[in-house]
Amino acid sequence: MVLRQLNPKPDENGVDGKKSAVLHRDLGYGFLPLAEGEGNYLVLENGRRIFDASGGAAVGCIGWGNERVARAVMRQMLAIPYCSTVFYTTKVQEELCRYLVDSTNGNMSRAYLVNSGSEAMEAAVKLARQYFLELSPAQDQRTRFISRRQSYHGITLGALAVGGHEYRRAKFEPLLMKNVSRVSPCNTFRGKKAGETDEAYVARLVEELDAEFQAVGPETVCAFVAEPVVGAALGCVPSVPGYFKAVQTVCRKYGALLILDEVMCGMGRTGTLHAWEQEGVVPDIQTIGKALGGGYQPVAGVLVNRRVIDVLEGGSSVFVHGHTYQGHPAGCAAALEVQRIIQEENLLANVQAMGDLLSRRLQERLGDRPNVGNIRGRGLFWGIEFVADKEKLEPFPSDDHVGLAICERGLTAEYGISVYPGAGSADGIRGDHIIISPAFNVRSEEIEWIVDAIGRVVDDFFATAT
C-alpha cells in the first residue's frame, strides 16, 4: 500500500520542500507553513487551526503563545542575552540549576545546561568516562557503554552510537564509536512471553544484562543507558515494576553508572517531575530536555548525582567539556518560567488525572480495533502501536510508513489534529506507532475531543487504506 499523502495541499499555501532554500529533513516533502500558536492550537498561515495533541515531539507542555514566558525571555535578553561561561554565570542559570537540583530531594547535586537532548547525552557519556578517570587511574579501562535495542538517545555521533535506532544509525555506522553493546528493551508488548509474570520477565532481562556485562568484561563498562519510558524509538513504552531497581543492582554490582535519558519522558511528562521517581531508583546521571523549556527556547540539561560530583570535586574539579552557548540566559529564563507555571498551576496533578482519562478513553475507543496492537504509556505520554495482524502481532512493512501516514491524515482539514509518528527499528522488528502527548494543562473536554479525533482518523485510515 502507498499511504503517504504528501503535503502541501495547494489550498494551504504549502511550502514545497523541493523548491525551498531550507535543507528540510525530507527534501521532497511539502510542509505546512506554521504562523502562530494559540494555547493548544497551531495556526497555519492560511488561518486553519490544528489541535496540537503532541506538543511537537512531546516538547510543548504549557501550550503556545504564553506571554509570561515570552516576557521573561525578553527581559533576560534585554538584561544580558549571552553569557560566556569561562568567567561568568547568570542569576537565571544559577536559579534554574538550583531548582532542578532541589527537585531531586538532594540526590543530584549539579545541573549542566545545554541546548538539545543530543548535547545532553554527549555530555552524560563524557561525564561518565571522566568520573572513572577521576575515581582512580585503574579505572582507565572503563570505556564501554551498554544500552538497549530500539532506543534513541540523540542524533549527534556520540549520542547516536549509544542509541539503538537502526534506521538513524545505518548510514553513519562506520563513524560511530564501537564500544557500545545493546540488550533487549523492557517491552511487554513485544518482549514478554505469554503467561510470563512481571517478575520472571524482569529476571530474564536482568540475566541478559548481567551476561552482557560478563561478555564485554564488567571492569570495562562505564554505564548502562536507558530511557525510563521509551519515547521515539518504541512509542511510550514503560518498563514493568521492578525492572529499573533490578538493573541498578546489576550496575552497582559491577561498579558501573546508571544513566537515565529523560529527554522525552522527563520534566513532568509521565506525571512526576522525574520519571525515575516512579521506578524507585535514582540515576547517577540524568538527561532532560523537551519539557524543560516547553519549546520556548532550545534548552536541555544533565543532572548529576552527588556521588559523581564528589569524585569530580575530589579530583581535577574540571569537567573537560563545554559549548559556546551552554547555560544560555534566554534558554534558562524560558525554562525557569515554564517550570514556575507548572508548579503554580499544579500541572503535574493534571498530568496524572488527564493521563488516566486519556488512557481509559483510548482503550475504550480503539482497544478492540484489528489494527491497533497495543495502547501504552504513562501520564500524558501515550503510544498506539499498529499491527497488520493482531494475533501474530505482525507489523506493517516499513515502506508503508503507517505511523507517518496516520499522522498526516490527522493533519488534514477533516480532522485537524497533530500527533507524532514513529517506528521502532531493530533486528528486523518494526512497529509503527503514533505518540499522543498533549500539554500538561489539557482539559478533560479536550481529551474527549482528542480521543474522538484520533478514533476517527484511525478508523477512516484503515477503512480506506489500500
In the complex, minimum distance from the CB of residue 172 to ligand PLP, in angstroms, rounded to a whole number: 15
In the complex, what is the shortest distance from the CB of residue 118 to ligand PLP, in angstroms, rounded to a whole number? 3
- Considering the complex, state which of residue 233 and residue 348 has its C-beta at the smaller distance from ligand PLP: 233
| Closest listed residue to residue 112, CA positions, set 303, 290, 318 | 303
Q: What does the binding site for ligand PLP look like in residue numbers (CB under 6 A)?
A: 57, 116-118, 121, 152-155, 227, 231-232, 261, 263-264, 289, 300
Inter-residue contact 337 to 88 (CB < 8 Å): no
| Closer residue to ligand PLP in complex, CB, 236/342 | 236
Query: Cα angle vertex 24, ends 20, 29, to 5°?
Result: 75
Is the CB of 317 or the CB of 324 nearer to ligand PLP?
324
Q: Residue 14 or residue 301: which is nearer to ligand PLP going by CB? A: 301
DSSP 326-392: TT-HHHHHHHHHHHHHHHHTTHHHHHHHHHHHHHHHHHHHHTT-TTEEEEEEETTEEEEEE-SBTTT
Residue of minimal CB distance from ligand PLP? 117
Amino acid at 131: Y
CA-wise closest residue to 239 among 206, 212, 287:
206
Q: How far is the CB of 177 from ligand PLP (least distance, A)?
A: 17
Query: Looking at beta carbons only, is 293 or 329 nearer to ligand PLP?
Result: 293
| Min dist. Cβ of residue 131 to ligand PLP (A) | 20
Closer of 44 and 225 to ligand PLP (Cβ):
225
Residue with cell 559523581: 308
Smallest distance from the beta carbon of 258 to ligand PLP, in angstroms? 15
Widest distance between CA atoms in the chain: 66
Q: Cell numbers 480521543 label which residue?
A: 451
Q: 230: closest CA among 6, 393, 426?
A: 426
Our CB check for ligand PLP shows the closer of 231 and 373 to be 231
E strand map for 398-458? 417-418, 420-426, 429-436
Residue with cell 501516514: 405
Q: Which residue has the cell 537515565?
A: 260
Cell digits of residue 406: 496516520
Pairing of strands 420-426, 429-436: antiparallel
Name the minimum Å distance from CB 185 to ligand PLP: 12
Residue 55 or 289 with smaller CB distance to ligand PLP: 289
Tell me the closest approach of the beta carbon of residue 71 to ligand PLP, in angstroms.
Answer: 25
| Least separation in angstroms between CB 439 and ligand PLP | 17
Instruction: Work out how close the CB of 457 gets to ligand PLP at its nearest, in angstroms, rounded to a whole number.
Output: 23
Q: Which residue lies nearer to ligand PLP by CB, 238 or 289?
A: 289
Please report how close the Cβ of residue 455 comes to ligand PLP at its closest, in angstroms.
26
Nearest to 131 by CA among 145, 151, 148: 145
| Distance of alpha carbon 231 from alpha carbon 280, whole angstroms | 20
3-class DSSP assignment, residue 272: coil
In this complex, which beta carbon is closest to ligand PLP, that of residue 319 or of residue 381?
A: 381
Instruction: Count how many residues are written for the chain.
Output: 466
Supply the minimum distance, in Å, between the C-beta of residue 26 and ligand PLP. Answer: 16
Q: Which of 3/259 has CB closer to ligand PLP?
A: 259
Dihedral sign, Cα of residue 257, residue 94, residue 275, residue 326: negative
Q: How far is the CB of 67 from ligand PLP (least distance, A)?
A: 25
| Residue 90 vs 115, nearer CB to ligand PLP | 115
d(C-alpha 405, C-alpha 456), whole Å: 14
Candidates 363, 422, 362; CA nearest to 396 is: 422
Return the number of other C-beta atoms located less than 10 Å from residue 403's C-beta: 27
| Helix then strand then coil, % of the chain, to nearest 5 | 40, 20, 40
CA–CA separation, 25 vs 23, rounded Å?
7
